[in-house]
Structure 1
Amino acid sequence: MVGIFVLIAIVIFVIGILTLGGQQKRFIESITVSTVFDDVEGLKVGNNVWFSGVKIGTVKGIELFGEAQVKVVMNIEQEAQKYIRQDSRARVSSESLIGNRIIEIIGGTPSRPAVQDGAILAAEPGMNTDDIMKKLQQNNENLATITGNFSLISEKLVRGEGTVGTLLTDTTLAKDFRNMVASLENTSRNASRASQELSRFSRKLNTNGGLADELLTDTVVFSRLQQSMTELEKATQSATQMVQNLEQASSKVNNDNNAVGVLLNDPEFARQLQSTMQNLETSTEKLDENMEAMQSNFLLRGFFRKREKEQRKAAEKAQEQQQQTEQIPVKQEN
């Protein structure tokens, strides 16, 4: 019985040794890689080494290095050596929020050669649990402040304070708001109708054979329209020149340095001209009287009679010529 118990104890001991050795990678070929950290954050010998979420080794040793740094030596499986590059980095991480500390190997350029036994990997600052807890504490405090502020805001809203509270409690303002929304709906419907009308108008413009289509597509109509605009521009220039000439003429008419300006603007000259015309009329009447008197004079009576006789002869001769002229076409017709 004693031998049986001893044998069972030896078997259990061997199985435990093999199990612990398998977990610690004691019976697997490995290489040694080290990294120097500023703070290992509670890392212990025997903790796991992970790469891309896969366990590839354990922490072999932890020792102080330099003035205030820590050197961590790791055993890495030889099978995982080909996946770790020389420019890979190591950082202290955690299996979970409150789990054991681990070493996590990250990064690495595929074109770089694999890491060798005894290599030193660069360290990368990891996430500190204390810092995370501090951030969580600050977030909790901020959340409590936000909750308190929201409670105050909700109380003011219930009491009807502020603009939003007034909107929630004032029925008149609510009606006005509904009316405004209704007006916006009417505006949107009008805008929709206007858009439809504009669409129909644009389709009419694009109708083949229409005036707008010919103006936009027919080069002949466009050239004619361009010529018309050119002629219109010339006519406008001519009208402008004519207006300028009229302005110049009107300025000359209003000037007293010429005859027309004097006739139109000088009242004294107008009176003198009127007096002169009256004198001419009077002189004409007197001249007629003098002519009649001369005709009655016995000295000049023969002269006037002779002239009247010559005038009668000339009139009779002209009348005979006219009669002869009228008779000639009649004979030709016969």
Structure 2
Amino acid sequence: MEKTTSQKIRLGFFVISGLIIFIVAIYFIGDKQKMFGQTNHLKAIFNNVNGLQLGNNVRYSGVNAGTVRTINMINDSVIEVEMLIDKSIFSHIKKDAIAIIGSDGLVGNMIINIVPGKGNKAAVEHGDQITTVKRVQTDDLLSTLDVTNKNAALLTADLLKITKEIIEGKGTVGSLINDTVIAQDLKQTMFYLKVTGKGTAESVTKLNKLIGSLENKNNVIGVLKDTAVANDIKKIVQNLDRSSAGIDKLVSNLNTTILNIKEGKGALNYLSNDPNLVRKIDSTMININEASFRLNENLEALKHNFLFRGYFKKQEKEKQKAIKK
């Protein structure tokens, strides 16, 4: 049956619409895969790609920067991954940047995250290789978690055993918890400790006040701390030292003199120890006294002599005049 014109128009419109939708989808998919934009190649070496596939995203600081272009198995432990990076972002990646394989969310596709370096290195160039860090695998996490669960189960069993013994009053802790006498003693001990702590605090306060009062110059310690007083005391001590040295020297000389006297040396020993000399001195003193008495008698006789009477009277008159004046 021959198709009408309207049907042909509808068919043509449908074909054209489908073709446009196809072209747009191809464009968006290609743009997402960086097939039509300006890109540079960047390489990274991994030990395990953890399910990474061609076309997976590459992110730099959380921003989509490109896609995975190729995954090449070099050997059993080296896998080379080549990435297509947008040129607008490529210039910001430094040579010390680090590539890490992660997941897009909890259960999303695997992606490559490029972590920026310290920023003091030069930018990467086309075809450069950057450093990688091994990602912790899920199997390792599960293995570690399994060990942790086993340890937790053992700890729980031990804890249950300990708590059961405590409840039954076994051991030191059980006795402390279940014995009322020990509880009372402990309570009383804590009370005494509290009282003692309070007394200690008061003693420390008084001691601090006492130490603070030592800084006052009105008391003995304060006076001793005064530099002027300290200098005076220092001078007094020095004078005492010099005086002590002089006294020691005087005592030494005195001891020497006494020793000389004891040994019969010098005039003093001669005068004090010779009995004949003593008798002679006594006789001399007696003679001097007698001579003095006789001299007085002779002077008295001269006063009555007519030759010297005028002289003595004249002396007496002058003495009287001097007394009157």
Using structure 1 for the length normalisation, give the TM-score. 0.63
Alpha-carbon contact 1:49-1:59 (below 8 Å) kept: yes
Q: Distance in 2 between matches of 1:74 and 1:188?
A: 72
Distance (Å, rounded) in 2 between the aligned partners of 1:46 and 1:36 = 17
1:85 partner letter: K
> SS of 2:159's equivalent?
helix
Q: 1:23 Cα shift?
A: 2.5
Contact (CA 8 Å) 2:94, 2:124: kept in 1 or not?
yes
- 1:111-163 CA distance string (max 9 Å, x none): 32211112222332222222122122222222222222222222222212222
Instruction: Tell whether the 8 Å contact from 1:97 to 1:129 is kept in structure 2 after alignment.
Output: no
Residue in structure 2 matching 1:57, options 57, 66, 69: 66
Residue 10 of structure 1, CA deviation: 2.9
Say whether 1:24 aligns with 2:33: yes
Out of 43, 48, 53, which is 1:39 matched to?
Answer: 48
2:176 equivalent among 146, 159, 167: 167
Corresponding residue for residue 150 of structure 1: 159
Q: 3-state DSSP class of the match of 2:183?
A: helix
Distance (Å, rounded) in 2 between the aligned partners of 1:200 and 1:37: 72
Kindly tell me the number of residue pairs found equivalent between the two proteins.
236
Corresponding residue of 1:126: 135
Q: State the AA in 2 paired with 1:43.
A: L
Q: Distance in 1 between matches of 2:235 and 2:190?
A: 51
**Does the Cα contact within 8 Å between 1:93 and 1:127 map onto a contact in 2?**
no
The 3-state SS of whatever aligns with 1:209 is: coil
Q: Distance in 2 between matches of 1:169 and 1:125?
A: 55
Q: Evaluate the alpha carbon distance shift between residue 220 and residue 37 of structure 1 in structure 2; reply closer, same or farther with a 3 A threshold.
A: closer
Aligned to 1:296: none
Amino acid at match of 2:114: I
* Residues 1:91 and 2:116 aligned together: no
Displacement after TM superposition at 1:198 (Å): 1.0
The 3-state SS of whatever aligns with 2:67 is strand
Shift of residue 92, structure 1, vs aligned partner: 1.9
Q: Distance in 1 between matches of 2:197 and 2:143?
A: 53
Contact 1:215-1:222 at 8 Å conserved across structures: no
Query: What does 1:231-270 align with in structure 2 at a 5 Å threshold?
Result: none
What amino acid is the match of 2:188? N
Alpha-carbon distance between aligned partners in 2 of 1:84 and 1:182, rounded to the nearest angstrom:
69
What residue is the counterpart of 2:119 in the other structure?
110
AA in 2 matched with 1:137: D
Q: 1:127 to 1:67 in 2, by over 3 A?
A: closer
**Partner deviation per Cα, 1:213-254 (whole Å, 9 max, x = no partner):** 11221543674388579969x7xxx9xxxxxxxxxxxxxxxx
> Given the alignment of the two structures, is residue 192 of structure 1 paired with residue 201 of structure 2, yes or no?
yes
Partner of 1:83, secondary structure, is coil
Give unpaired runs (5+ residues) of structure 1.
239-320, 322-334
Local SS of the residue matching 2:108 = coil
**Change beyond 3 A, Cα 1:191–1:20:** same
Aligned-partner SS, 1:176: helix
Separation (CA, whole Å) in 2 of partners of 1:109 and 1:218: 61
Aligned CA distance change for structure 1 residues 230 and 186 (closer, same or farther; 3 Å): farther
The reply to whether residue 2 of structure 1 matches residue 14 of structure 2 is no
Runs of 4+ more than 4 Å apart: 225-232
| 8 A Cα contact 1:64 1:71, kept in partner | yes
Q: Is 1:75 the counterpart of 2:84 in the alignment? A: yes
Cα RMSD after superposing both structures: 2.8
| CA–CA separation in structure 1 for the residues paired with 2:24 and 2:160 | 63
| Residues 54-63 or 4-13, more deviating | 4-13
Task: Report the CA distance shift for 1:210/1:76 in structure 2 as closer, same or farther (over 3 A).
Answer: same
Q: Counterparts of 2:147 and 2:12 in 1: how far apart (Å)?
A: 64
- Structure 2: give runs of 5+ residues left out of the alignment: 1-9, 249-292, 294-325
The one-letter code of the counterpart of 2:209 is: R
Native 8 Å contact 1:84 1:114 kept in 2: yes
**AA paired with 1:31?**
N
Structure 2 CA distance for partners of 1:35 and 1:149, relative to 1, 3 Å: same
- Alignment-mate amino acid for residue 99 of structure 1: G
Map 1:279-290 to 2 at 5 A.
Answer: none
Partner of 2:229: 220
Determine if contact 1:38/1:70 at 8 Å carries over to the other structure.
yes
Normalising by structure 2, we get a TM-score of 0.64
Q: What is the CA–CA distance in structure 2 between the aligned matches of 1:129 and 1:145, rounded to whole Å? A: 24
Shift in Å at residue 40 of structure 1? 1.1
Distance 2:106 2:239 in 1: 87
